[in-house]
Chains A and B, each alone.
Chain A
Amino acid sequence: MSMSVTLTVNRVPHTVQLDDPRVTLLDLLRERLDLTGTKKGCDRGQCGACTILLDGRRVNSCLALAISHDGAEIQTIEGLAEGGALHPVQAAFIAHDAFQCGFCTPGQIMSAIGLIDEGQAGEDPERVREGMSGNLCRCGAYRGITEAVIEATRSMAEDAQEKAA
C-alpha cells in the first residue's frame, strides 16, 4: 500500500511517500526528513523526548501516525532559532543550566513552548512542574528547567507587552 502525506514542518511543506501506514511522526521526522533534533527516548509516550507542536499543541510524536496528519503544521526544535537568534525558551535553558547531557532538552523546550502558550501555569513553580510532567530528565536537571520555564514565561510576556505598546 503506497501513500503520501504532506506536512508543513517549520514552515516548509514536505510531501513524503510512505510504504507502510504505521510510520510515526517521530520516525518520519528523523529518518525521512533528517530532522534528528527530535529525540527518541522510549518510543512509547513515557519520556517526552519526542515532543513536537502539532497544529500548535504539544504531543508525543512517537505516538502519532504520520499518515493521520496529512496537511498538519508541525514545529520542531530545528525551527525555533531565527537568523541566529535563539528562541527565548532556548536562551533561558542556557542561562539556567537546564540540562546536563542534553538528550531530553529538545522535548523539554518544545513542551515548555506549548505550556507557555496554554497560559495556565504562569510563574507558579508547582504548576510549571505539573505542566512539564510529561517530560522526564534522567540527568535530573528539573530545578534549572523549572527556573528556565518561569524566566521564559516572564520574558515572553514582557516582549509581547513591548510589541503591543
Chain B
Amino acid sequence: MSTIWLQPKTLPEALAMLAADPALTPFAGGTDLYPAQAARFAWGEALPEAILDLGALPEFWGIAADATQWRIGAGATWAQLRDAALPAEFDVLRAASCQVGGAQIQNRGTIGGNLCNASPAADGVPPLLALDAAVELASLRGTRTLPLGKFLLGNRQTERAPDELLTAVLVPHRAGDLRSGFEKLGARHYLVISIVMVAAMVRMEAGRIAEAAIAVGACSAVAQRLPALEAALRGSRPGEVAVTPGQLDHLAPIDDARATGAYRREAALVLVRRLLARLALPEALVA
C-alpha cells in the first residue's frame, strides 16, 4: 500500500480531508509522534500510512487576545510560548515551556500536540489547568469548546473525535495582583520527563490570597487540581495555612521506571509547599 501525505493550506481544507479519511494522523511538530513511531518501527511494526501535516495552516500559530480571553493557536511552539510577551499569570506556562525537552524540541513541539498526546507527564497540562484553560475543537460538523479537564480523559485518551482537530487553547483574562509558577522534578536538571510537576496561580488582595489554583501532574492518569487546598488557602495570608498530605489524597501516583508512587506523593507535597512559599515572596512580583 502506498503512503499518504497531505499538507492542507487552510483549516477548512484540513477538516474536509480529515472528514473524508478520519484514519489520517495529524502531524504538528512530530516530537511525540515520530519517536513513538520510530520505536515501533524498530520492533518491526509499520510506520503510519497516512499523515495530515498541519505545518502549513496559517490559523494554527498565533497567540492573540480578544475582549474576553487569550487565544493560543494549537500550533504555538514551546519556543513561542517561552518568548511571547504574556502577562504574569502566564509565568507558569512560560516556566514549563523552558523545561520541555531541549531548545530543539522547544522549536518544534507544539502545545496542541502536547495536549492531544495526553501523556500523564505532559508539562503543558498542569499550567493550563491552573489557568482554567479550555480547548477548541473543530470539524466539518462545527466547533466546540471544552474545559481542558473535560477534554483529557485518561492516559493518552482525549475527547477528540477522529474527524476533529484541536485548533486553539483559550485562557480567560484575569486582573489583579497575579503570581504564578511551575516546579518540575526530574531525574536530572534538563531534558527530562517529569516525575512530578506542580503548577500554581494565586491572586493576592491586601496581603491575602483571594484566589488560588494549584495543579499536580504525573501523579494520576490526568493532572489534577487540589480543590481542598485551594479552598483552605482562600482568604488566608501566605504561610498561614499548612499544606497537608490529606489535600493530595485524591492523587493516584503509580510505580514506574522513574519513581515509586510513594516517592511521587511525597515529592508532590514538597513541591507544592516550595512553590507556594516562592510565590508568597515579594520578589515573586518582579520575577
- Contact digits for A14-45, partner B, Cβ 8 Å, 1 yes 0 no: 00000011101000000000000000000111
CB distance B5 to A3 under 8 Å? Answer: yes
Name, among B53, B79, B103, B189, the residue most crowded by chain A CB atoms within 10 Å (CB to CB).
B103
A77 to B239, CA, bound (A): 53
| Contact digits for A31-70, partner B, Cβ 8 Å, 1 yes 0 no | 0000000000001111010010000011110111101100
Residue of B nearest to A114 (CB): B103
A45 adjacent to B3 (CB under 8 Å): no
Tell me the complex Cα distance, A90–B55, Å: 33
Q: Which residues of B contact A68 (CB under 8 A)?
A: 7, 27, 53, 55
User: At the interface, yes or no: A115 with Cβ under 8 Å from chain B?
Assistant: yes
Listed residue (A51, A62, A65, A67) with the most chain B CB atoms within 10 angstroms of its CB: A65
Closest to A135 in B: B102
With a cutoff of 8 Å between Cβ atoms, the chain A residues found around residue B103 in the complex are 58, 111, 114-115, 118, 131, 133-134
Minimum CB–CB distance from A25 to chain B (whole Å) comes to 11
Taking the closest CB of chain A, its distance from the CB of B58, in whole angstroms, is 15
Tell me whether A45 and B53 are in contact (CB under 8 A).
no
Q: Is B101 close to A, CB under 8 A? A: yes
User: How far in angstroms is the closest Cβ of chain B from A83?
Assistant: 29
Residue of B4, B5, B48 contacting most chain A CB atoms (<10 Å): B5
How many residues on chain A are close to B (CB under 8 Å)? 34
Q: For A48, what are the chain B residues with a Cβ–Cβ distance below 8 Å?
A: 102, 104
Minimum distance in angstroms from B29 CB to a CB of chain A: 7
Bound-complex Cα distance A58 to B107 (A)? 7
How many residues does chain B have at the interface if contact means C-beta atoms less than 8 Å apart?
Answer: 30
Given A1-B5, A58-B107, A59-B107: A133 and B189 within 8 A (CB)?
yes
Docked-complex contact B30 and A63, CB < 8 angstroms = yes
* B271-287 interface (Cβ within 8 A of A): none
Question: B3 near A20 (CB under 8 angstroms)?
Answer: yes
Knowing A133-B189, A133-B191, the reply to whether A44 touches B104 (Cβ < 8 A) is: no
Which chain B residues lie closer than 8 Å to A115 at the CB level?
A: 103
Q: A130 an interface residue at 8 Å Cβ cutoff? A: yes
> Does residue B187 face the partner (Cβ distance < 8 Å to A)?
no
Specify which of B2, B51, B108 lies most central, judged by the most chain A CB atoms within 10 Å of its CB. B108
Quote the shortest CB–CB distance from A104 to chain B (angstroms).
Answer: 13
> Is B263's beta carbon under 8 Å from chain A?
no
Q: What is the chain B residue whose CB lies nearest that of A134?
A: B102
Q: Known: A1-B2, A63-B30. Is A43-B38 also a contact (CB below 8 A)?
A: yes
| Between-chain CB contacts (< 8 Å), 12 pairs | A20-B3, A21-B3, A21-B5, A22-B5, A45-B34, A46-B35, A58-B104, A63-B35, A65-B5, A68-B7, A68-B27, A134-B191
Residues of A whose CB lies within 8 Å of any CB of B are 1, 3, 20-22, 24, 43-46, 48, 51, 57-60, 62-65, 67-68, 111, 114-115, 118, 129-136
